[in-house]
Amino acid sequence: MIGRPKSLQGLTVLFLSLLLAVTILAGLGTFFVTLSTIDALVDQRIESESHALAPPGVPVTRPVLERRIEDLGNRRDTGDLGLLLTNRQGDHLAGNVALARNLPLGFSSLDRRDQIEGLTSGRAFVRDIGNDMHLAVFAETEPIDHYFAARLHIYMIAFGAIVVVILAGLLQFRRLIGQRIVEMRQTVDSIIEGDLTQRVPLSGDGGEFDQQAAAFNRMLDWICHLLAEMRNVSNNISHELRTPLAKLRNELALLEQQANALPIREQLIEATKQADDLLGMFRAMLRIAEIESGSRRAAFQPVHLGALVMEVADMMQPVAEDAGKRLGVGRCDDAWLTGDHRLLSQMLLNLVENGLRHTPLGTGVAMSVNALSGRSILIVQDDGPGIPADQRALVMRPFGRLDRSQTARGHGLGLPLVDAIVRLHGGTLTLDDARPGLKVTIDLPRSHS
């Protein structure tokens, strides 16, 4: 059983197959119905002429029948008829044709094998008229030689032209539909990458496709409005809280320096650190909102990813050594991409810091860059405890943290910030098991320097 088509290409192939099958069947049907109709009309005529020569049930002598055959053959309107009178053994008695074979009684078809001069296709009607005689009447079914071949050729051209016209229309329809689908998909891809200003283009004809595109664009406008409102609320909260929180942090720092605060200095230091963490969280939230707005695309320029990895490695090497851990760089291909240098640097710093913070002493973090066809694969992995597969989606959400890390410092915005930077650059981020440890794979589009 043929399944339902699941793509525009499948629908096109199915439609073309059905169209071709129906056209062929219609052409063959028309051709053979025409032949059958002609044969029926010719059969009716030769039967009528045969009955006129020798009416059924009326005895007729050979001399009378020969005279009737001669008179009928001399008529101008019967020049295309063949007449033959034979005995039952097939011997010629009278008529204007001769046959190379004995025909059966009743109706039969004639062709070139019967060797009748001027006849390529015809019909014959043979009767037993009594007195040991058989009367045969013939007529052509082709008005001219090779008429059926010519007619078949005409049918092929006519129905072929129909197929070509419909095929051209279908391909044009498919191109139009395909173009509209591509435009919508490109718009969706741009929005997913963070460019919320993109809309499906309109052709301006006011047709169904334009109406659909306009409705889709109105939906996008409304979604962008809602996102903007949510973002504004989040940004306003972050801005409004950051100022009093900064004042609180400064007050705590000043209290820590006073002599009479010695008994509670450790608590003040801890409170100051917590205020710093909260300020860092608000900064990260504002940073993510800025990145997701797509405004940083204006600063995109060619960036050498391999050189950036080496730069971050040199910067973080002393930090790794102080923490009693290793930081290395593996394969580093010559890979370029178009992006924001500062954001990409922050992305790498966040990944390295996460790897150093959440791994025990003696472990290491490694970075590598693989240049593939049209893509750059950045890998940052460690050989620490890793992240269980069922909790990887959790750490990719804002404020998502593993259960075991709730007592550790951090606000759960590191990986969401990295993911926002990756999506801004048209890439994808995946978390895998490094066996042991965590493997972060970032797939980014390449560009030429």
β-strand pairing of 326-332 with 364-372 = parallel
**Are residue 255 and residue 309 in the same domain, yes or no?**
no
Cα-Cα-Cα-Cα dihedral of 208, 211, 217, 219, to 10°? -100
The CA angle 73-77-78, to the nearest 5 degrees, is 35
Q: What is the pLDDT of residue 2?
A: 52
**Reading across the β-sheet that carries 106-111, which strands appear in turn?**
92-95, 81-87, 133-140, 121-130, 106-111
* Pair 308, 281: CB distance under 8 Å: no
Q: Does one domain contain both 286 and 336?
A: no
Q: What is the pLDDT of residue 1?
A: 44
**Inside any domain, residue 356:** yes
Number of domains present in the structure of the chain: 3
Q: Looking at the structure, do residues 311 and 268 belong to the same domain, yes or no?
A: no
| 285 and 363 part of one domain | no
Contact 364, 326 (CB under 8 A): yes
* Domain around 48: 8-148
User: What does the pLDDT profile of the chain (449 residues) look like in tens digits?
Assistant: 455 655 656 666 777 778 778 877 877 787 788 778 888 888 898 888 888 888 888 888 888 888 888 887 777 555 568 888 888 888 888 888 877 788 888 898 887 777 777 677 788 899 988 888 888 898 887 765 566 666 667 777 877 787 788 778 777 877 877 788 888 888 888 777 667 778 888 877 777 778 888 888 888 888 877 777 766 666 666 666 667 777 777 877 777 778 777 778 788 888 888 777 777 766 766 666 666 666 666 678 888 988 999 999 998 899 888 888 899 888 888 888 888 888 888 889 889 988 888 888 888 899 999 888 888 899 999 988 888 888 888 887 776 666 544 445 556 677 888 888 888 888 889 999 888 889 999 999 887 65
DSSP string for 266-306: HHHHHHHHHHHHHHHHHHHHHHHHHHHTTGGGGG-EEEEHH
Instruction: Note whether residue 37 is domain-resident.
Output: yes
| Six-digit token string for 169 | 């229309």
Question: What is the C-alpha to C-alpha distance for residues 445 and 442, in angstroms, rounded to an integer?
Answer: 10
Decide if 358 contacts 325 (C-beta within 8 A): no
Do residues 327 and 426 share a domain?
Answer: yes
> Given this model, what pLDDT does residue 367 score?
92
User: To which H or E segment does residue 109 belong?
Assistant: strand 106-111
3 located within any domain: no
Q: Would the CA dihedral through 171, 172, 177, 181 be positive or negative?
A: positive
Write out pLDDT tens, residues 121-171: 788 899 988 888 888 898 887 765 566 666 667 777 877 787 788 778 777
> Residue written as tokens 């893509």?
375
Q: What SS3 class is residue 176?
A: helix
CB neighbourhood size of 198 (10 A): 16
Q: Same structural domain for residues 227 and 355?
A: no
Tokens for 73, please give them.
Answer: 């053959």
Whole-number Å distance between alpha carbons of 184 and 191: 11
Q: Indicate whether 367 belongs to any domain.
A: yes
pLDDT at 4: 64
Look-up of token digits 């002599």: 259
**Among the residues of 121-264, which ranges form H helices?**
147-192, 208-257
At residue 198, φ and ψ (nearest 5 deg) are -70, 145
Residues 305, 288, single domain; the answer is no
Using a 10 angstrom Cβ sphere, with 0-12 exposed, 13-18 middle and 19 or more buried, the burial of residue 123 is buried
**Torsions phi, psi of 227, nearest 5?**
-65, -40
Residue 217 in tokens:
């664009």
Same structural domain, 107 and 122: yes
Establish if 165 belongs to a structural domain. no
DSSP string, 354-413: HHHHTS-TT-EEEEEEEEETTEEEEEEEESSS---GGGHHHHTSTT---GGGTTSS--S-
Examine the fold and report which residue of 261, 292, 323 is the final residue of a domain before the chain moves on.
Answer: 292
Indicate if 312 and 413 belong to the same structural domain. yes
Q: Are 210 and 203 in contact (CB under 8 A)?
A: yes
Q: Which residue has the tokens 């694969």?
A: 377
Amino acid (1-letter code) at residue 35: L
Sign of CA dihedral 312, 314, 315, 316: positive
Residue 449 and residue 447: Cα distance in Å, rounded?
6
Buried b (16+ CB within 10 A) or exposed e, 160-197: eeebeeeeeeeeeebeeeeebeebbeebeebbebbebe
The pLDDT assigned to 184 comes to 84
Q: Which residue has the tokens 């090779």?
A: 146
Same domain, 41 and 125: yes
Look at residue 172 and tell me if it is in a domain: no
- CA angle 305-311-316, nearest 5°? 125
- 208-257 helix and 147-192 helix, angle to the nearest 10 degrees: 20
| Domain CATH number, residue 109 | 3.30.450
Q: Do 348 and 229 share a structural domain?
A: no
Residue holding tokens 């008005």? Answer: 143
313 and 288 within one domain: no
List Cβ neighbours of 87 (8 Å cut-off, separation of 6 or more): 93, 132, 133, 134
Q: Which of 157, 227, 149 is nearest to 194 (CA)?
A: 227
Q: What is the pLDDT of residue 407?
A: 45
Contact call for residues 325 and 348 (beta carbons, < 8 A)? no
Amino acid at 260: N
Which pTM does this prediction carry?
A: 0.49
Last residue of one domain, picked from the residues 273, 292, 311: 292
The CATH number of whichever domain residue 415 belongs to comes to 3.30.565.10
Domain-terminating residue out of 96, 114, 148: 148
Picking from 365, 375, 360, the residue whose alpha carbon sits closest to that of residue 426 is 375
Whether 202 maps to a domain, the answer reads: no
154 found inside a domain: no
